[in-house]
With several copies, the nearest count.
Chain A
Amino acid sequence: MSTAFDILWVEKYRPRSLDEIVNQEEIVNRLKTFVKNKNMPHLLFAGPAGTGKTTAAHALAHDLYGEYYRQYMLELNASDERGIGVIREKVKEFARSRTPPDIPFKIILLDEADNMTADAQQALRRLMELYSVSTRFILIANYPSKIIDPIQSRCAFFRFQPLKKDDVVARLKYIADNEGVEYDPEALETIYEISEGDMRKAINVLQAAAALGKVTVETVFKVVGMAKPKEVRQMIKTALNGDFTGARALLRKLMIEYGLSGEDIVKQIHREIFSNEIDIPEDLRILIADYIGEIHFRLVEGSDDDIQLSALLAWMSLVGRKLGVSG
């Protein structure tokens, strides 16, 4: 029974070698040269979540060392490991361990390197120098600007692009078919929209939705804990029509029925404001986008969901009324 919960599709369908990676071609080609040359500099992989940075690093190691590559690769997570001290210890120990038969270096993979403080990065830089003979670092970061210059200037830089819609949908289809999952094609596109080019997230959503039965637009929204866009739009329209009480009733419904938090809802309102499905005059959109910024900030600071969202809806009905929008 527990197995159903143990194998994640993101693991199951993760490409094992560079050849299996179907996008990021330019990057893959550069990495393949390293494999061919049996040599490489330190690497810095940057780009949004779910664009395959970690996968690429593993595939590279796989192609360099073969199937049992993990003994030659030390995986660290900068936000997991407490402090540079721990990292230093682990690197030291790893550097002393057995070297691969064929390749003159081992690999240290440091995930979320941009989460390290500048001080810790300075210490890291020194580690990279110290062990540069026998090891290569692969640093993974979402925001390369948070990596200090001295490290950047020591690394070959790879920028991973967000995945294209077709690539993601094709992959989801492939997995769904392989797993014998029923699905509405529309649902897969919805998954792409929600995951914003993050392949890992997309596959996770697919798996979660599949657990509920056929994958439909409906079930997708259910598992990601989002309200259906139509209902959110309904609430926005009601508010802009000046019917605050009505909009607030819809808000309560979203909070209670979908179990959405204030931040969830604000983000969805923000998303809908910019969708084509809703016809809002530009100047109203501007006003709302501005006010949403304020409300989101207050929520982040810990203010009460209900209070802040009521304020937002109240405000929307006021401007809606003033500008005579009919939603």
Chain B
Amino acid sequence: MNKHHKKIPWIIKYRPRTVEEVVNQEEAKRLLTTWLSAWASGKKPAKRAALLYGPPGVGKTSLVEALAREYNFELLELNASDYRSAYAIRRTVGVAAFKKALFGKGIIILLDEIDGVATREDAGGLQELLKIIPETNNPIIMTANDPWKDQLRPLRDKVLLVQFKQLSMTQVMGVLQRICEKERLECEREALRLIAQLSQGDLRAAINDLEAIAEGYGKVTLALAKAILRGREKKSDIWRTLNQVFYAKAAWMAKRAVTNSEEDYETLMAWINDNIPRKYEEPGDLYRAYDALSRASLFLSRAKFKGYWSLLSYVFDLIGPGITYARKEGSILKLRYSYPERIKLMASLREVRQIRESLAQKLASRLLVSKSTVKNDILPILQTIFRYSKDLTYPARLVLGYELTKEEVKYLAGNKAEEIIELAEKIKRTRRIPREPEREEVREAPREQKRAPKKKKQERKGKTLDMFFS
């Protein structure tokens, strides 16, 4: 038994068992504990599902497991290796949501990696989940790396969002240190520092690396770590690549640098894009560099969208030597490379585009125009009304008229958003809203929306009963 136990990978062996042991997620712990104690005391919270999000390896799943133990819940786990089609969700989650636990206070339904629900193979799964959430008698918890994925949009409004932070290097090191002690391993502090640094806050990756070195050599030294972990040196790799491009002595050197780079093409181009002005200064140099990059991007899109992968080679010509030899006039600047803003901003970019999309959808069916007309003609007007109206009750009333979400109001109103939302809530509270508002004006759309939930409810009841009898 003991021998066998030893063969369990460390990432499982050392996974946190108690809430205490989950490192550095105090805010997330607080939110989740409050939410779960409500369930435990029999009061269902307003949002009956929670979505835990954050980078990989920061303890999302572990925390749920620990909480379940601590609060005495059963745990039902579904992950990406299970089918999650509409049918599968109905059969598993649908049943569990209305079941009484045999032991303990209830069942936590854990849907791991909800962003991994496949669009085709798991068709309808998310929709099914959306139907179950507002009705469930047991807490549903989901995890995701990227909650801004398009397919998760309808989910976001209906769940408690709990963010998990990236771990700091020191925290990762702390954990590694403890493992070394438990395994009675000889570990150099500098080696642990390197492992932690390269893991970029992914604790699981760090533990894996530690194990990879320890398993092979029985000790963990800086030299060994350096030799073995070269593959993870992403950041230093990109800096080396950039240096080789900007300071190349010959065309082939620059070309080799970009060809051998570990980064995928898009990321590499994002790095170059942001760092050209940190190295070049003369407008002519800048223009030539950007034109080369722009041509490269054109070749890449042709390669990707038309499947002409043989054209990739020209991408490398243009982002390697093409950048190097764009500099003809000025000297090279000494500024340090910066992390590409575009990558940092990707999530918020995706978020804002999605809000725009959902607004377009909402308004298009009401105004009888296409989504692109809404985006290009209507939204700017709405933004003007929301940002510059003399009397903010007016936009507030539009918020109610189109049932806009907070995200959407934020997009339309900018820094006026809070005020408008408050006003809208006040209006909603103080004035009695007629059952069928503005019958004359708003004909089909609102009525459809009103009808829909009723129908859903009936369906669901039927289904629940079926489940009990099957």
A and B in direct contact, judged by CB atoms within 8 A: yes
Give residues in A with beta carbon < 8 Å to B: 3-8, 10-12, 14, 16, 26, 30, 33-34, 37, 39-42, 44, 46, 49, 54-55, 58, 67-68, 70, 77, 79-80, 83-85, 88, 91, 104-105, 111-112, 119-120, 122-127, 129-130, 132-133, 143-146, 149-150, 152-159, 200-201, 204-205, 207-208, 211-213, 223, 226-229, 242, 244-245, 248, 252, 255-259, 261, 263-264, 267, 270, 274, 282-283, 285-286, 289-290, 292-293, 295-298, 300-304, 306-308, 310-311, 313-315, 317-318, 321-322
CA distance A135 to B270 in the complex (A): 38
Smallest beta-carbon distance A260→chain B, Å? 9
Q: Please determine whether A39 and B215 come into contact, CB atoms closer than 8 angstroms.
A: yes
Also in contact, A314 and B118, with CB within 8 A (given A274-B252, A306-B273): no
Interface of B is mostly: helix
Interface of A is mostly: helix
List residues of B (358-379) whose CB comes within 8 Å of A's CBs.
364, 366-373, 375-378
> Are A156 and B384 interface neighbours, CB within 8 A?
no
A200-B380 contact, Cβ under 8 Å, with A154-B204, A158-B231: no
A231 → chain B closest CB, angstroms: 13
A311 touches B291 (CB 8 A): yes
In the bound complex, residues from chain A placing their C-beta under 8 Å from that of B289 are 314
- Would A112 and B370 count as touching, CB distance under 8 A? yes
CB distance from A152 to the nearest CB of B (A): 7
Most chain A C-beta atoms within 10 Å of own C-beta, residue among B215, B277, B290, B306: B290
- A119 contact from B121, B325, B389, Cβ within 8 A: B121
Interface stretch among B16-24, B97-105, B239-247, B429-437?
B429-437
14 additional A-B pairs beyond A122-B118, A317-B283, beta carbons within 8 Å, are: A4-B397, A41-B212, A41-B215, A84-B118, A85-B121, A91-B81, A123-B81, A125-B116, A159-B231, A212-B389, A259-B355, A302-B301, A304-B300, A307-B269
> Given A125-B80, A227-B384, do A159 and B230 touch, yes or no (CB 8 Å)?
yes
Q: What would 13 A/B residue contacts be, using CB atoms closer than 8 Å?
A: A4-B400, A4-B433, A5-B400, A10-B367, A11-B367, A85-B83, A122-B116, A150-B145, A153-B57, A155-B208, A282-B321, A290-B318, A296-B314
How far is B353's CA from A322's CA once the two chains are assembled, in angstroms? 36
Residue contact B301 to A289, C-beta cutoff 8 Å: no
Q: Contacts of B182 on A, CB cut-off 8 Å? A: none
Please determine whether A286 and B443 come into contact, CB atoms closer than 8 angstroms: no
Q: Give Cα A104–Cα B5 distance, bound, in whole angstroms.
A: 11
Minimum CB distance partner of A92 in chain B: B81
CA distance A213 to B322 in the complex (A): 44
Distance in angstroms between the alpha carbons of A130 and B230 in the assembled complex: 28
The 7 closest A-B pairs by CB, nearest first: A122-B116, A293-B314, A153-B205, A311-B294, A157-B231, A302-B301, A6-B397
Q: Nearest-CB distance from A105 to chain B (Å)?
A: 7
Which B residues fall within an 8 A CB radius of A? 4, 7-9, 11-12, 55-57, 79-83, 112-113, 115-116, 118-121, 145, 199, 202, 204-205, 208-209, 211-212, 215-217, 227-232, 250-252, 255, 262-264, 266-267, 269-270, 273, 277, 283-284, 286-287, 289-295, 297-302, 304-306, 308, 310-311, 313-314, 317-318, 321-322, 324-325, 328, 341-342, 345, 348-349, 352-353, 355-356, 364, 366-373, 375-378, 380-385, 387-391, 394-395, 397-398, 400-402, 411, 414, 427-428, 431, 433-434, 437-438, 441-444
Q: How far is the CB of A67 from chain B (nearest CB, A)?
A: 7
A14–B215 alpha-carbon span in the complex (Å): 28
Q: Is the CB of A303 within 8 A of B381?
A: no
Please indicate the chain A residues that have their CB under 8 angstroms from the CB of B287 in the complex.
311, 314-315, 317-318
- Chain A contacts of B82 at CB under 8 A? 88
When C-beta atoms are compared, the residue in chain A nearest to B263 turns out to be A145
A6 touches B211 (CB 8 A): no
B183 smallest CB distance to A (angstroms): 13
Known A7-B401, A252-B341, A259-B355: A157·B229 in contact at CB below 8 Å: yes
Which residue of B is nearest A322, CB measured? B283
Contact A300 B308 (CB under 8 A): yes
Q: Is the CB of A123 within 8 A of B321?
A: no
Contact between A286 and B377 (Cβ–Cβ < 8 Å)? no
State A33–B71 Cα separation when bound (angstroms).
43
CB pair A208–B384 under 8 Å, yes or no, is yes
Instruction: Report the minimum CB–CB distance from B315 to chain A (whole Å).
Output: 8
A248 — which chain B residues lie within 8 A by C-beta? 277
> How far is it, in angstroms, between the C-alpha of A290 and the C-alpha of B316 when the chains are bound?
10
B381 touches A227 (CB 8 A): yes
Please, which residues of chain B bring their CB within 8 A of the CB of A228? 380
Kindly count the residue-residue contacts between A and B in the assembled complex, taking CB atoms under 8 Å apart. 344
Q: How far is the CA of A33 from the CA of B229 in the complex (A)?
A: 16
Roughly how many angstroms separate A226 CA and B401 CA in the complex, as a whole number?
23
- Chain B residue numbers with a CB within 8 Å of A211 are 384-385, 388-391, 394-395
A302 CB, nearest partner CB in chain B, Å? 4
Could you tell me the distance in whole angstroms from the C-beta of B282 to the nearest C-beta in chain A?
9
CB of A153 within 8 A of CB of B56, answer yes
Which residues of A have CB within 8 Å of B402?
A: 7
Query: Are the C-beta atoms of B438 and A7 separated by less than 8 Å?
Result: yes
A247 to chain B, nearest CB (A): 10
Q: Is the CB of B121 within 8 A of A83?
A: yes
Measured between alpha carbons, how far is A310 from B306 in the docked complex, in Å?
24
- Give A245 to B273 CA distance when docked, in angstroms: 12
Query: Separation in Å of the B371 CB from the closest CB of chain A?
Result: 6
Q: Once bound together, how far apart are the Cα atoms of A155 and B229, in whole Å? A: 11
> In angstroms, how far is the closest chain B Cβ from the Cβ of A224?
9
In the assembled complex, the Cα of A183 lies from the Cα of B371 at a distance in Å of 31
State whether A156 touches B209 (Cβ < 8 A): yes
- The CA of A215 and the CA of B348, in the complex, are separated in Å by 36
Q: How far is the CA of A213 from the CA of B385 in the complex (A)?
A: 11
| CB closest residue in chain A, given B212 | A156
**Quick one: which of A123, A223, A296 has the most chain B CB within 10 A?**
A123
Chain A min CB distance to B169 (Å): 16
Question: Quick check: A144 and B297 within 8 Å, CB to CB?
Answer: no
CB distance from A326 to the nearest CB of B (A): 15
CA A16 – CA B444 in complex, angstroms?
12
Whether B118 pairs with A5 at a CB distance below 8 angstroms is no
In the docked arrangement, what's the CA distance between A270 and B318, Å?
A: 13
Report the bound CA distance from A58 to B112 in whole Å.
33
| Bound complex: CA A155 to CA B232 (Å) | 11
When distances are taken between beta carbons in the complex, the residues of chain A under 8 Å from B388 are: 211-212, 226
User: Quick check: A204 and B9 within 8 Å, CB to CB?
Assistant: no
B373 touches A49 (CB 8 A): yes
- Nearest CB on A from B274, distance (A): 9
> In the complex, are the beta carbons of A41 and B369 less than 8 A apart?
no
**Contact present for A257 and B352 (CB under 8 Å):** yes
Residues of chain B lying within 8 A (CB to CB) of residue A68: 444
